[in-house]
Structure 1
């Protein structure tokens, strides 16, 4: 099978594109509008982009009516957002918050989710989620696309605070991924969750894997560069 998007059709009953880049972590993003309304929505085009300092991004296509998503608008107008880890146990709530609703609707209430206060930003956290990043908005890159929904806002944020539930940690100080069971997006209407891991030591010799771990302190110490 071969196709060229927008030029040569794939001839399949379902478009395969999103199923080729999997699994994708879910950016379950909470924001607060200028009017004080809390918003919560999942984005399957989400990722961390660097670790020193830690930054993340999420991509938000337009609504079915061609408008910008509330998450994008709120993050830009208030300068803040929170990433909440989506887990298998929270899958139904994640799905409920994906519904396209009016800006004045509070998705926390809609999905029956309790809120937890953040420390450094205004948007609340999903209390039942085990891991959160409080973020300050850095920049939005708007990329034109095709059709009503094709245009996308790529929202970048700097992580200023991290919350990890005690129960989500192992005795040796690692996040217990199989216990947490992060939810990940596949294609179509399919999801998966991480219920097992394996270890594959790095072959990198220059930094001892500090960069792969994502530790600025260890990277600075091993490379002798010091912290900026």
Structure 2
């Protein structure tokens, strides 16, 4: 009998074990749900990390676009501060961002700031978006992506477009102007100029248009 008692399974401990397992498992699932959108972009071949724009950078962007109107797009819009600031200056502004948490926060912030009717935020990979409708473009990029982005924007943007690059300039385009200094510098590019730059290796017809 003593042997049977010692080897009899302890059924009282099972519910506690299941509860602990459930709590740990639930915590891991919740942690993954919160962190996955932030980690996933870092696993891509070209990473566009979220680094908030400084107040000076936002001011420099708006200064570079001071005489401009119409629609504006922020590529990799982060927490939406460029889009919201542009909307307050009269633009109809859109942001494209891969991180859904930042997009949801941006929408809330735009509503709180009273410009939700002039802004839109989209969860999307920038390489899958066409920017043909935007004459004003802002990009906070990284060096690894800028050359490829040059080609994409040159193909898609209207001839009246202006592109403002922050933190890193485009590798081959020549800016028509720079605003600010240090990490807050922004480079302003004109579509007609960078299209002609790209057309140096294009057809004779394309090259002749740049000479007009």
Structure whose residues are more often helix by fraction: 2
Give the structure with the larger strand fraction.
1
Greater Cα radius of gyration, structure 1 or 2:
2
Q: Same fold (TM over 0.5)?
A: no
TM-score, with normalisation over the residues of structure 2?
Answer: 0.24
Q: TM-score, normalised by structure 1?
A: 0.23
